[in-house]
Amino acid sequence: MTPLPAAIEATGLHVSRSRSKILRGLDFRVEAGRITGLLGPSGSGKTTLMRAIVGVQRISQGSVTVLGRPAGSAPLRHDVGYVTQGASVYPDLSVQANVRYFGAMHNATAADTADAMAAVGLESLARHKAADLSGGQFSRVSLACALVAHPKLLVLDEPTVGLDPVLRAELWERFAAMAATGTTLLVSSHVMEEASHCSSLLLLRDGALLAQLTPAELARRGRSEDLERAFLTIIKAADRGQEERQVTT
């Protein structure tokens, strides 16, 4: 069986910011047309890795290739969508004006704008000012501003934070539907139960990749169906391994 084409490929990726090492030598590939979860405790480097992939973070060593090109290169700007953790939209504009503006960068039509708003369930609030929306609605405006471009790779930093369970389920269904049509999604989260929605997981800790595996493998290796506990088991095992190495050297 030939492997699926890689949407993202990182080799020996190092990132340092103001002299502290945030990412230390990551090697991985993310398959196209799948949902890949980026999991790890806060401060593990998830956001920095995502920023390196969308090309806004300078890399100190190694490389990241996105859709066959170096991350951040100009032709990728049409194909890569990035939704930051804090919603980066204009609070003093209406939902529609926000989506339309970001759509204008990708020659989106009025129908694209309407579709993007419908996709996140905000069509009835199109004319409301973003600042007047609830926290969850506000972050969905940010998502709509990425969807309007029909990106081939969508990078989402903690998209489900602050959403109620119903909305969270709807959003994951939406992501699955997008993956089914060929979109690659990289979704970060620090909530382990969300891992089950992904077809592959990148476990990050202290800027290093602990493992790349499927949710089923995570459950097996962590000896628990509860993915949160499974993840903790793997972390502990890794810590123990590190201590043993330090003892032997």
Distance CA 56, CA 80 (A): 12
Contact 116, 99 (CB under 8 A): yes
- Tell me how far, at minimum, the Cβ of 15 lies from other proteins, in Å: 10
Q: Is 17 in the site for other proteins (CB under 8 A)?
A: yes
Q: Which of 78, 128, 190, 229 binds other proteins (CB under 8 A)?
A: 78
Q: Is 21 in the site for other proteins (CB under 8 A)?
A: no
The CA–CA distances, whole Å, from 149 to 64, 70, 76, 99, 102 equal 22, 20, 12, 10, 8
Q: Is 223 in the site for other proteins (CB under 8 A)?
A: no
Contact 184, 20 (CB under 8 A): no
Contact 32, 192 (CB under 8 A): no
Residue placing its CB nearer to other proteins in the complex, 29 or 100: 100
Q: Is 128 in the site for other proteins (CB under 8 A)?
A: no
Nearest-CA neighbor of 68 among 37, 13, 30?
30
Nearest-CA neighbor of 95 among 135, 136, 140?
140
Nearest-CA neighbor of 38 among 212, 217, 241, 154?
212
Q: Is 90 in the site for other proteins (CB under 8 A)?
A: yes
- Tell me how far, at minimum, the Cβ of 42 lies from other proteins, in Å: 18
Q: Which of residues 136-155 bind other proteins (CB under 8 A)?
A: 145, 149
Q: Can you say whether residue 40 is alpha, beta or left, with left for phi > 0 and alpha for psi between -120 and 50 degrees?
A: left
Q: Is 110 in the site for other proteins (CB under 8 A)?
A: no
Q: Which of 97, 114, 118, 232 binds other proteins (CB under 8 A)?
A: 97
- Tell me how far, at minimum, the Cβ of 90 lies from other proteins, in Å: 6
Distance CA 203, CA 239 (A): 14
Q: Which of 37, 40, 45, 55 binds other proteins (CB under 8 A)?
A: 55
Q: Which of 1, 74, 166, 247 binds other proteins (CB under 8 A)?
A: 74
Residue placing its CB nearer to other proteins in the complex, 131 or 169: 131
Q: Which of 72, 207, 215, 222 binds other proteins (CB under 8 A)?
A: 72
DSSP 3-state of 10: strand
Task: Give Cβ neighbours of residue 125 (< 8 Å, ≥ 6 apart).
Answer: 95, 133, 137
- Tell me how far, at minimum, the Cβ of 198 lies from other proteins, in Å: 23
Q: Where do contacts with other proteins occur on this chain (CB under 8 A)? A: 17-18, 54-58, 72, 74, 77-78, 80, 82, 84, 86, 88-90, 92-93, 97, 100-102, 104-107, 129, 145, 149
